[in-house]
Amino acid sequence: MIYEWDQSLEEVFIYIKAPDCVLEKNLKELKKNLKPGEKLPKVEVNFKPDLVSVGLKDLPPYLNVSLYLKYF
């Protein structure tokens, strides 16, 4: 599962699985393999009223969910 959420009337909690390359346990190995001028990947998260997207900066998002809003 890439994501799940809990919500109440006051709060929303979103739990998102991070890519392996940004997990602390993998950073040492990743740093060792960087070429001169390369930087560690950064996670980019966008929340909009009708969309949630998560991915590595400058790459297509691996989570891109359109939210259906229904007003009563």
Q: What is the CATH number of domain 3-66?
A: 2.60.40
Question: What distance in Å separates the CA atoms of residue 45 and residue 31, rounded to the nearest whole number?
Answer: 22
pLDDT of residue 70: 62
Degrees, nearest 5: CA angle 64-3-22: 85
Percent of the chain with pLDDT over 90: 14
pLDDT of residue 72 exceeding 60, the answer is no
Q: Which residues pair with residue 59 across a beta bridge?
A: none
Q: Tell me: the pLDDT tens digits for 31-57?
A: 888 899 988 888 999 988 888 899 999
pLDDT of residue 14 exceeding 90, the answer is no
How far CA 58 is from CA of 12, 39, 64, 69, in Å, comes to 27, 12, 15, 28
pLDDT of residue 2 exceeding 80, the answer is no
- The domain ranges of the chain are 3-66
Q: Edge-to-edge strands of the sheet including 63-66? A: 43-48, 51-56, 63-66
Mean pLDDT of the chain: 85
